[in-house]
Structure 1
Amino acid sequence: MAALDFYFDYRSPYAYLAQTQVRNLGVEVAWLPFEILQLMDQVGNVPTSITCKPKGKYLGMDLQRWVAMYGVPFQRNPQGADIDARRLLRATLAADELGQADAAVSAIFGSYWGGSGAPLVTPADLVAVLNGAGVSGPNLLSRIEAPALDAALDAATTAAAARGVFGAPTMYVGDEMFFGNDRFDFIRASLGVAA
């Protein structure tokens, strides 16, 4: 059993930032993708950073503060509007079936937010990114596009909502929930990990 459950959608820049820090904890992480807009609909949440212009403007500045603090690359993929987010999430589920979720999450976040800018628009683009990170398996491309994996993503989203997840990133240590990129002091304390 993983020490920390990490719930995320690749569209969240704060999830990108948080996953860079989770990797520094030295604990086993369960990567748990979910479809954020579907989940928000299920739990009655709304993406206020999109609907509230002053909040959206503030978050743009806030993200830059976190990027500077963490010293990580940050640049949204220039094709971001054309990327099928569900495909990215299904790819993570497929990689998890192969025992390669950690490498997939790192590679996809790196392409989406981490400045590599590697194309993610087509299924072949995504498989190239995964292969470049060492993620491979039989029929990976067809598996990512399989209706059964799309259904599995819906089920994962519903399970996340049932657990109490309302946005990304959300992390659990046992039954203790932590929401957001700024909860690592509490997470370290809960894990008993030194800063």
Structure 2
Amino acid sequence: MRTLDFYFDYRSPYSFLALSQVRKMDVEIAFHPLEIGDLMKQVGNVPTSITCAPKGRYVMTDIQRWAVHYGVSLNWHPQLLEIDASRLLRATLVAGQLGAMPTAVEAIFNAIWSAPAPLATAAEVAGLDAEELAERMDEPAAQDLLDEAAANAVSRGVFGAPTLFVGDEMFFGNDRLHFMQGHLARAA
């Protein structure tokens, strides 16, 4: 089975949409959480959907179109702008140390984009002790993991989310999945 490296930030609805399709593929997913704002600063990228109001408005329509196209329920968490995404990303990396990263990724993405729920329940859904996770994700070691994740992403040429790799072949955005599927088919 081929391994797919999946670089994402929970705040990216396109990451959620891409994952909804990648889950259906015959691949093993290696998750790489990253703080998108930090990454973009490091590589000199600018979030044009934030800096350009007309594009920002269009993106909202585009996201809904993709959700319909994929048959995915997209229900924005009512406190999305208040969520400390860095903390969730650190929690995900700690969950990875505990052997539960895929389950944590699924639970957190669903809590934010599919079935909005208190994020504390995401730890429970992932089968983790919420208190232990909360304690460990706020330790300096968890921030070190997040910084290392960003450095790894930068070294691979990642400039946004979602970014997916099959080996050294990079695919950016949920709208490039068909190219990735073609690559996987040719490599099989």
Query: TM tier, shorter chain?
Result: over 0.9
In 2, the alpha carbon distance for the partners of 1:71 and 1:135 equals 30
Normalised to the residue count of structure 2, the TM-score between the two structures is 0.93
Q: Which residue of 2 aligns with 1:48?
A: 48
Label 1:137 to 1:60 Cα distance change in 2 as closer, same or farther (>3 A). closer
Normalised to the residue count of structure 1, the TM-score between the two structures is 0.90
Asked if structure 2 preserves the Cα contact closer than 8 Å seen for 1:79 and 1:119, the reply is: no
> Unpaired runs of 5+ in structure 2?
none
In 2, the alpha carbon distance for the partners of 1:192 and 1:54 equals 38
Residue 182 of structure 1 is aligned with which of 175, 185, 188? Answer: 175
* Structure with the higher fraction of residues in helix conformation: 2
Shift of 1:135: 3.8
1:117 alignment partner AA: P
Shift of 1:2: 6.2
Label 1:138 to 1:192 Cα distance change in 2 as closer, same or farther (>3 A). farther
Label 1:113 to 1:138 Cα distance change in 2 as closer, same or farther (>3 A). closer
In 1, the alpha carbon distance for the partners of 2:182 and 2:122 equals 35
1:19-168 equivalences under 5 Å are: 19-114=19-114, 116-120=115-119, 125=120, 128-136=121-129, 139-168=132-161
Aligned residues between the structures: 186
Shift of 1:148: 0.6
Asked if structure 1 preserves the Cα contact closer than 8 Å seen for 2:123 and 2:129, the reply is: yes
Where do 4+ consecutive residues of structure 1 move more than 4 Å? Answer: none
In 1, the alpha carbon distance for the partners of 2:4 and 2:74 equals 24
Shift of 1:174: 0.2
- Please provide the CA RMSD for this pair: 1.8
Shift of 1:137: 8.5
Label 1:138 to 1:61 Cα distance change in 2 as closer, same or farther (>3 A). closer
Q: Which residue of 1 aligns with 2:185?
A: 192
CA deviation vs aligned residue, 1:28-51 (integer Å, no higher than 9, x gap): 000001110000000000110011
> Unpaired runs of 5+ in structure 1?
none
Label 1:43 to 1:144 Cα distance change in 2 as closer, same or farther (>3 A). same
Asked if structure 1 preserves the Cα contact closer than 8 Å seen for 2:43 and 2:159, the reply is: yes
In 2, the alpha carbon distance for the partners of 1:55 and 1:175 equals 31
